[in-house]
Amino acid sequence: MSDQTHRAMIPAAGQGRAPQAKAPRPGGPAQVARPGRGYAVRLWSVRHARALEWFYRRFARTVLLLHPLWSALGYGRVEKPMRFVERRVKGFMFDCRMCGQCVLSSTGMSCPMNCPKQLRNGPCGGVRANGHCEVRPDMPCVWVKAWEGSRRMVQGDAILTVQKPVDRTLAGTSSWLRVTAQAAAERDHRKDAA
Amino acid sequence: MSPHHDENPAGAHLPLEPLPGHASRGRLERVLRRGEFAVTTELNPPDSADPEDVYERAAVFDGWVDGINAVDASGANCHMSSVGICALLTRMGYAPIYQISCRDRNRIAIQGDVLGAAAMGVQNVLCLTGDGVQAGDQPGAKPVFDLDCMSLMETIRTMRDQGRFLSGRKLTTPPAMFMGAAINPFAPPYDFRPLRLAKKIAAGAQFVQSQYCFDVPMFRDYMTRVRDLGLHEQCFIMCGVGPLTSARTARWMRANVPGVHIPDAVIARLEGAADQKREGKRLCIDIIDEVKEIAGVAGIHVMAYRQEEYVAEIVHDSGVLKGRRPWRPEPRADDALVAGRLDHILHDNRVETPQQILTEAQAAPHPATT
Ligand code: SF4
């Protein structure tokens, strides 16, 4: 009897401490777990949205030019290394979450998956007066930054188009390759039609 | 009976006759499309399983509002579900506005709920992102946010206009819903806010309710830009208003309720008053007086959390209805008949319980039974 009571008390005590530790909730989208690193790089990217837009356009064109190479190797086989590079590069520059359906060009180079509510269509109504996030007061609202970034971009008005719901099956896959494959298919289709 | 009584003659709980150009068969859409200044409010959801709690809370609005918002765990605090409240309210003929927030349910659950709500006679839906779970009484919950308010609206519009689910599967009867959204002109990025309304309209919003307006000049600026974009002609814009009880609550709200902007002047005015509660009401009426004159404002949305009994007074004193009497539940002719004969029914010696009926039936000679 006494043994049971004892055991019942231990987890209770452990639970009592948990809220103080402010552990990030696992699994939830609200988790932006990069302890020890601020938002400096992410904000730099937004400040240089125009240059990045220019660069990405060239980059996308180059990757598309290499389409014969990708198809010769097999898109499935390139996926893994491409994903590796994409995750590293975009992870560093934008705190990319690898949703697999990149919208950075429509969001002023501010990754919307870093919004605790994962909004893809603009800021929620809770943005603080200082422009910080309702959920994470230490973080500048992703969408306030997105709006700023979009104003710097040539095709910044893409922020005004309504985005489709996120397809969660694409999470973790390479967005670059998908865009390339789609563009190639479209190009071929146009060629066939002509 | 007023010329526009907006009630189905076969029963108040039934949808109205469909009208050309109307998305729904509801009262709120009719009022707005007729160009009348509409008033909506918010029901404080009970922490109870008793339907009477809902009816009691709805009754204080009788005859003063055109629609009642059934909130979906606002502030991430758990209460009776919005779909449950809506189902109860439609039974009595009220026009509830079914709020859906993206915080707690994914696209599968939401599409199912929309069908269920429509089947129960709900005509209006308001699509929200929802406050983060950290704001509520159960911060340990898992935030869902599968859709956002815009993709949610597009989803419901697809169901309504194209008669299919997001997956493409066909619906046999699509939900006829008047679709709404929320706007907050009082939060950054300010110059994006009007464009965001345009985006919501593109996603399907037919009416919008704003966050609490305590800063009229700011709202006026917002509306100027909205008019420049021509948005007020594509969507009914309702301004959110509400009474503050005291300077202390105002300060608390400013600090703790996400997205509420209260200027210092408002707090100073409350602080300077002898009776802060009265002054809060006065302030609310003053704000209504100003916003109702702004071109493009189609109505007001009165949020009087825990002071719902003042809604009638505020609406009356502000005079926004201009003598119009919104629908209210009234006993029908046959109900009145029953009420008249109640005495007779009660005092006649009648068979009351099923047991008695059974005994009588068994005692009586009955050739058909074996
Ligand atoms: S404040 Fe900005 S980052 Fe935070 S939840 Fe809202 S939109 Fe997302």
What would the DSSP string read from start to end of B59-105?
HTTTTT-SEEEE-SSGGG---S-HHHHHHHHHHTT--EEEEEETTS-
Instruction: Please tell me the distance from the alpha carbon of residue B41 to that of residue B300, in angstroms, as a whole number.
Output: 8
- pLDDT bucket at B370, cuts 50 / 70 / 90: very low
Cβ separation A119–B148 shorter than 8 A = yes
Q: What is the pLDDT of residues B233-270, one digit of tens each?
A: 999 999 999 999 999 999 999 998 889 999 999 999 99
How far from the centroid of its chain's Cα atoms is residue A24's Cα?
Answer: 18
Q: What is the pLDDT of residues B115-149, one digit of tens each?
A: 999 999 999 999 999 999 998 999 999 999 999 99
- State the Cα torsion B148-B150-B154-B155 to the nearest 10°: 20
Q: What is the pLDDT at residue A20?
A: 37
Which chain A positions have a beta carbon within 8 Å of B183's beta carbon? 125
Quick one: DSSP state of residue B164? B
More confident residue, B47 or A16: B47
Q: What is the pLDDT of residues B144-203, one digit of tens each?
A: 999 999 999 999 999 999 999 999 999 999 999 999 999 999 999 999 999 999 999 999
Q: What is the pLDDT of residues A53-101, one digit of tens each?
A: 999 999 999 999 999 999 999 999 999 999 999 999 999 999 999 999 9
Do the domain assignments include residue B322?
Answer: yes
More confident residue, B29 or A15: B29
Please report, for residues A65, A82, A159, B7, B9, the alpha-carbon distance to residue B1 in angstroms, rounded to integers and kept in the order given: 73, 71, 50, 11, 12
Can you tell me the ipTM of this complex?
0.86
DSSP of B293-329: TSTTEEEEEE--TT-TTHHHHHHHHHTTTTT------
Report the percentage of chain B scoring pLDDT > 90: 83
- pLDDT bucket at A36, cuts 50 / 70 / 90: low
Cβ separation A160–B199 shorter than 8 A = yes
Domain range list for chain A: 38-193
Beta bridge partners of B279: none
B101–A contact, CB cutoff 8 A: no
| Cα-trace Rg, chain A | 21
Ligand 1 centroid distance, CA of A139 (Å): 9
Instruction: Please tell me the distance from the alpha carbon of residue B157 to that of residue B139, in angstroms, as a whole number.
Output: 32
Window 142-181 of B: residues touching A by CB (8 A cutoff) are 142-151, 154-155, 166
* pLDDT over 60 (residue A14): no
Residue A116 Cβ inside 6 Å of ligand 1? The answer reads yes
Do the domain assignments include residue B305?
Answer: yes
Q: Tell me, what amino acid is at A3?
A: D
Enter the pTM of the model.
Answer: 0.86
Residues A23-42 have a mean pLDDT of 58
Q: What is the pLDDT of residues B63-77, one digit of tens each?
A: 999 999 999 998 999
The pair phi, psi for residue B54, each rounded to 5°, is -70, -45
Please, which residues have CB within 8 angstroms of residue B327's CB and are 6 or more apart in sequence?
B5, B6, B7, B12, B27, B63, B66, B93, B95
B229–A contact, CB cutoff 8 A: no
More confident residue, A5 or B160: B160
Beta bridge partners of B181: B127, B208
* DSSP SS3 for A5: helix
Please report, for residues A48, A110, B252, B317, the alpha-carbon distance to residue A26 in angstroms, rounded to integers and kept in the order given: 32, 23, 31, 51
Q: What is the pLDDT at residue B366?
A: 58
Query: End-to-end distance of chain B based on CA atoms, in angstroms?
Result: 56
Find the CATH number of the domain harbouring B147.
Answer: 3.20.20.220
Do the domain assignments include residue B177?
Answer: yes
Mean of pLDDT over chain B:
92
- pLDDT bucket at A31, cuts 50 / 70 / 90: very low
* pLDDT over 50 (residue B216): yes
Report the percentage of chain A scoring pLDDT > 70: 81
* pLDDT over 90 (residue B291): yes
- Domain hosting B322: range is 27-363
Q: What is the pLDDT at residue A26?
A: 39
Query: End-to-end distance of chain A based on CA atoms, in angstroms?
Result: 84
Q: Which of B107, B146, B182 lies at the smallest CB-CB distance from A125?
A: B182
Question: Distance from A114 to chain B by nearest Cα, in Å?
Answer: 13
Question: Distance from A27 to chain B by nearest Cα, in Å?
Answer: 8
Residues B355-365 have a mean pLDDT of 74
Q: What is the pLDDT at residue B351?
A: 60
Q: What is the pLDDT at residue A17?
A: 37
Q: What is the pLDDT at residue B243?
A: 96
Which chain A positions have a beta carbon within 8 Å of B143's beta carbon? 28-30, 116-117
Q: What is the pLDDT at residue B269?
A: 96
Placement of tokens 């939900």 in the chain: B175
Q: What is the pLDDT at residue A23?
A: 38
Instruction: Please tell me the distance from the alpha carbon of residue B281 to that of residue B302, in angstroms, as a whole number.
Output: 12
